[in-house]
């Protein structure tokens, strides 16, 4: 009986020890998640510091992998950003960074000129610059309603009335020359007649 109890105890110890070993091996098999790759830097838009609150997003292989805001307290400055880009996780539906991957940045949806390289063992310092193509409406002046060149209209000469031969020409008070000549000849003839009549009386 004592021998049987000893054998039973030994079996129980073996089972417990085996369970502990299996649990430990399972725990060691699950590796801890890889740390993210952190990127920091300044943000400049069209040569000016980015506005506070502008959204900076990171993409790896076309997948959205982290975002941050310009001017957050953790960013360290008014026009600075900070983004933690996660490591690739086989269990996740969206795969992010692994060592050497290119990280693309966007500021309020506009692609930055600079990119980063995913390394989770060093801090990525990338100062972002964005050239925003703001469309400016060009107003073309319409030719409709444009005043044309003003032509100077000269007043026409006042028309004169027709010469009726009555001594008054179109309202003018000056008599024609032939009328004066006729009157002169009449005066001369009257004078000659007067002289001849005086001689006859004598």
Q: What is the pLDDT of residue 153?
A: 45
Q: What is the pLDDT of residue 40?
A: 97
- Taking only the tens place, the pLDDT of each residue in 2-27 is 555 566 555 554 544 555 444 444 44
Spatial separation of the C-alpha atoms in residues 54 and 70, rounded to whole Å: 5
Give the residues of the chain that fall short of pLDDT 70.
1-31, 134-184, 186-202
Q: Is residue 60 a part of any domain in this protein?
A: yes
Q: What is the pLDDT of residue 92?
A: 80
- Contact of 85 with 39, CB cutoff 8 Å: yes
Q: Is residue 30 a part of any domain in this protein?
A: no
Q: Is residue 12 a part of any domain in this protein?
A: no
Q: Is residue 145 a part of any domain in this protein?
A: no
Q: Is residue 199 a part of any domain in this protein?
A: no
Q: What's the pTM value of the predicted model, to 2 decimals?
A: 0.53
Q: What is the pLDDT of residue 171?
A: 45
Q: Is residue 52 a part of any domain in this protein?
A: yes
**Which structural domain range is residue 50 located in?**
37-130
Q: Is residue 23 a part of any domain in this protein?
A: no
Tell me, what CATH number does 73's domain have? 2.60.40.10
Q: Is residue 193 a part of any domain in this protein?
A: no
Q: What is the pLDDT of residue 76?
A: 83
What the block records as the tokens of 103 is 């990280």
CB count within 10 Å of CB 78 equals 13
What is the tally of structural domains in the chain? 1
Q: What is the pLDDT of residue 95?
A: 87
């Amino acid at each position: 009986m004592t021998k049987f109890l000893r054998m039973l105890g030994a079996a129980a110890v073996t089972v417990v020890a085996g369970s502990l070993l299996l649990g430990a091996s399972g725990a060691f098999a699950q590796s801890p998640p890889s740390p993210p790759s952190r990127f920091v830097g300044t943000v400049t838009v069209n040569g000016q510091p980015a506005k506070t609150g502008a959204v900076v997003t990171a993409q790896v292989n076309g997948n959205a992998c982290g975002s941050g805001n310009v001017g957050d307290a953790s960013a360290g400055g008014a026009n600075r950003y900070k983004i933690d880009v996660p490591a690739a996780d086989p269990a996740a539906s969206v795969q992010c960074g692994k060592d050497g991957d290119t990280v693309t940045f966007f500021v309020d949806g506009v692609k930055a000129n600079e990119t980063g390289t995913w390394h989770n063992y060093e801090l990525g310092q990338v100062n972002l610059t964005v050239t925003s193509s703001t469309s400016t409406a060009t107003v073309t002046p319409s030719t409709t309603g444009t005043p044309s060149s003003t032509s100077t209209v000269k007043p026409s000469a006042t028309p004169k009335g027709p010469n009726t031969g009555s001594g008054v020409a179109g309202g003018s008070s000056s008599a024609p020359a032939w009328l004066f000549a006729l009157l002169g000849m009449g005066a001369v003839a009257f004078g000659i007649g007067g002289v001849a009549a005086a001689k006859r009386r004598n």
